[in-house]
Amino acid sequence: MVSVEKEKIDLPLVSELMIPSEKVAHVQLGNPLEHALLVLVKSGYSAVPVLDQSYKFKGIISKTKILEETLGMEQFELDHLSDIQVSEIMEKNIPCLEQTDNMLDALHKLIDHPFVCVTKENGEFDGIVTRRTILKQFSKHYHETLKRA
Ligand code: AMP
């Protein structure tokens, strides 16, 4: 936690809020879209991180992007999904966090994304922080504050 002295608020750090990498579903750069779709459908997530072979974070692949790709073809042929690699259509310009960032840093980045990836200095994937986690923190904080008022 870091203390914001004036407000007397203890802000949790990203390290305390994140889901660690070993619990995060991911796909690899070279995986075909067919595999990515399977991971997304089976896990129930709308998007997952994309990593390279040395576990570095490279982007995000979503059901929406895969669907867009499918609809862009002449016919609606799911077979084509095995010919296209995740790296060809993933989103690359994604903001990241580091473990030493605090909850407000996470909040700002989560306004436009349902989850944000946490990386190490060398770009290695460390985990994710989700909107759900941050909303739970705010809910807890306000309930506690209201109880004391
Ligand atoms: P949530 O806020 O828990 O609904 O999660 C929002 C999004 O974060 C999900 O739709 C996924 O894209 C991603 N996510 C959450 N948990 C995981 C996980 N364990 N593995 C991969 N992606 C996740």
Domain ranges of the chain: 2-148
Amino acid at the residue 90: M
Residue whose CA is closest, atom 17 of ligand 1? 24
Report the share of the chain in percent with pLDDT over 70: 89
Cα 147 to middle of ligand 1, angstroms: 31
| pLDDT of 3 | 58
Q: What is the CATH number of domain 2-148?
A: 3.10.580.10
Give pTM, 2 decimals.
0.89
Instruction: Assign 120 to helix, strand or coil.
Output: coil
Tokens of 25: 């579903």
45 Cα to the center of ligand 1, angstroms: 6
**Cβ(48) to ligand 1 under 6 A?**
yes
Q: Are 61 and 45 in contact (CB under 8 A)?
A: no
Nearest residue by C-alpha to atom 16 in ligand 1: 24
Going by C-alpha positions, the residue among 55, 63, 58, 68 that lies closest to residue 38 is: 63
Cβ atoms of residues 58 and 48 within 8 Å:
no
Closest residue CA from atom 1 of ligand 1: 132
Look at residue 114 in the predicted model and tell me its pLDDT: 94
Q: Per residue in 70-112, pLDDT tens?
A: 886 566 667 788 999 999 999 999 999 999 999 999 999 999 9
